[in-house]
Amino acid sequence: METLFLSAQDPQTAEKAAEILKHGGLVALPTETVYGLGANGLDGDAVLKIFEAKGRPQDNPLILHVAQPEDIREICDPIPETAWRLAERFWPGPLTMVLPCRPSVPRRTTAGLDTVAVRCPRTPITREIIRLSGVPIAAPSANRSGKPSTTTAEHVRHDMEGRIDAIVDGGPCDVGVESTIVDLTGPVARLLRPGGVTPEQLRDVVGELIVDKAVTSQIDKDAVVRAPGMKYKHYAPQGEVKIIAGPREKAAAYIRRQFQDGDAVLCFEEELPLYEGCNPTAYGKESDTATLAHGLFAALRDLDRADIRVIFARCPEGGGVAYAVQNRLRKAAGFQIVTEDQL
Ligand code: AMP
Ligand code: MG
């Protein structure tokens, strides 16, 4: 299949992309989080193509994207009052809500669950494409399954050229990590995945928030989990990722002792001088954690090479968006962490 490249600047792009989606095709779309691989979320055959193009296991459900908050009425029922309050505060934006699903949503989209994940993204061209297509758009991250998510159209081209109908180039994604996912189907709101909307911001609206254990630990591959995607290996470059925690100088001394030819270091900009000769890549500033979220996947993709054996990674501490960065890096590392007392 030949993949069409469309610029978000071109006034005809929205129409063209919507036409492809209406006819059951696949279009990669820019969002403020990462690039999504979109298809008509109400068409089971179109949705199947997403799983095939990504090589995604079919028990990993998709997020449905809507052009405006009210449109979730067509796919969710009942909708709790908390959902509207969250939508009011954070939509359009990097928040996904899991809600009870209407029977009209194909089982392929929800992987057979009776709940569905929904989000209204912020990027205007993508909202316009969804509006023109007239249906909710199922869109997981536009990467090959298991690989780091795509945050530029070039990343999408690398993973998906020849496998999908079109790529809409809207420039680099703003946030850089996938949406926050909150499950609202239980008595208490539950965080399934941290993202651009922070736990602190969520608590401000919902009060109590449980953090699901899949956020902080490795889930057994046979386990039944609330967000089935969480049990799969994620974001992983070919080399082994090891997180080295602890203070800057102590961690650097440890890494320099362990470092062998063919290894790499993924660190903060402030730390670059400590890793001369150790093949360092900085993914952002520790003093500005939004830059870490923004740069993480591009850096992991750069380091996704067969000749790199071990990637020693530095991970930010604390809450806010750093919490999402920690989660993605821990997953990339299969939760392998060398803690301060082991340095
Ligand atoms: P991706 O779009 O690739 O970032 O992955 C979507 C994430 O949303 C996966 O981790 C899914 O497990 C999660 N998800 C989608 N639908 C549901 C649902 N109904 N319940 C819980 N998690 C979901
Ligand atoms: Mg993904």
Asked whether the predicted pLDDT for residue 224 surpasses 90, the reply is no
| pLDDT score at 232 | 63
25's CB contacts (< 8 A; 6+ apart) are 39, 46, 49, 164, 165, 166
Residue 246: which pLDDT band, with cuts at 50, 70 and 90? Answer: very high
* pLDDT tens for each residue of 27-57: 999 999 999 999 999 999 999 999 999 999 8
| pLDDT score at 208 | 97
For the CA of 110, the nearest ligand: 1
Higher pLDDT, 224 or 316: 316
pTM of the model: 0.95
As a whole number, mean pLDDT of residues 137-157 equals 96
* pLDDT tens for each residue of 269-301: 999 999 999 999 999 999 999 999 999 999 999
How much distance in Å is there from the Cα of 101 to the middle of ligand 2?
21
| pLDDT score at 222 | 62
Q: Is the CB of 37 under 6 A from ligand 1?
A: no
What DSSP string runs through 294-337? HHHHHHHHHT--TT--EEEE----SSTTHHHHHHHHHHHTTT-E
| pLDDT score at 227 | 59
How much distance in Å is there from the Cα of 228 to the middle of ligand 1?
7
As a whole number, mean pLDDT of residues 68-80 equals 98
Q: Whose CA is nearest to atom 5 of ligand 1?
A: 140
Cross-strand bridge partners of residue 39: 138
